[in-house]
Amino acid sequence: MTRVLRMALFALSAIGLTTMVIALFLQVVAREFNWRVDWTEEIGRFAFISMVFMAAAYSTLTRSHLRVSVFSDLVARKIGFRPVQAVHTLVLLGFAAIMVYFSAVNFVEGLQYPNISPALRFNQNILFVAMCGGFTLIFLLHLSDLWALIRGKTLKEGGPVND
């Protein structure tokens, strides 16, 4: 299951990055020939926003996200790694829950009061679905980490807990 999720998140991130690069490349080429391709900027922006949240979930799954651990490593040497990992996990779980809630609220409000993009005539508030989905996955991954910590396991960098 973890492998399938890892591959799916990687593929979605790669598709978003590829779409963004192609759209922005087309925009640069179009400028040279004075072609009107206003939609490329919007496609690039929408692909980038979606890719960021899928890549954030991927980095959470693989535990490859950036973190500064100088202070926590010092504390962990004194009290143990599992309690420090539990505090980290609880804080990140809370943050992800707050972000899921507010992105869902913004999505619903965006359906009531649409913010239409000029070139594609696309309701830009629909992008909150990517944010809500990404943070929901992050929440579930941290919930899984918390469950592993409760069961006595230690979280390893570079990948999910293996049973």
- How far apart CA 29 and CA 37 sit, in angstroms, is 10
In a domain, 155, yes or no: no
- Per-residue pLDDT at 163: 42
Beta-bridge partners for 88: none
Question: 118 or 65: whose pLDDT is higher?
Answer: 118
Total tally of structural domains belonging to the chain: 1
Which pLDDT belongs to residue 159?
A: 61
Give the Cα separation of 54 and 66 in Å (integer): 16
Residue 54 counted as domain residue: yes
Q: What is the pLDDT of residues 136-161, one digit of tens each?
A: 999 999 999 999 999 998 888 766 54
Tell me whether residue 158 is in a domain.
no
What is the tens place of the pLDDT at every residue in 68-78? 788 888 898 99
Q: Which residues, in sequence order, are bridge partners of residue 123?
A: 116
Distance CA 163, CA 148 (A): 9
Task: Report the distance separating Cα 59 and Cα 52, nearest Å.
Answer: 10
Asked whether residue 163 is assigned to any structural domain, the reply reads: no
160 found inside a domain: no
Q: Give residue 160's pLDDT.
A: 57
Structure confidence by residue, pLDDT tens digits, 87-96 = 999 999 999 9
Give the tens place of pLDDT for each residue, 46-62: 999 999 999 999 999 99
Question: For the CA atoms of the chain, what is the radius of gyration?
Answer: 19
Which tops the pLDDT comparison, 156 or 33? Answer: 33
Using an 8 Å Cβ cutoff, are 96 and 83 in contact?
A: no
Backbone angles phi, psi at 123, to 5 degrees: -70, 105
| Within-domain flag for 95 | yes
Is residue 120 in a domain?
Answer: yes
Q: Quick one: tokens of 66?
A: 């950036």
- Which residues span the domain enclosing 110? 2-150
* pTM of the predicted model as reported, rounded to 2 decimal places: 0.88
Helical H segments across the chain, by residue range: 2-32, 39-61, 70-79, 81-112, 128-150
For residue 161, being part of any structural domain is answered with no
Please name the amino acid found at residue 146: L
Which pLDDT band, with edges at 50, 70 and 90, does 1 fall under? confident
Token digits of residue 162: 């293996």
Query: In whole numbers, what is the pLDDT of the chain averaged over residues?
Result: 92
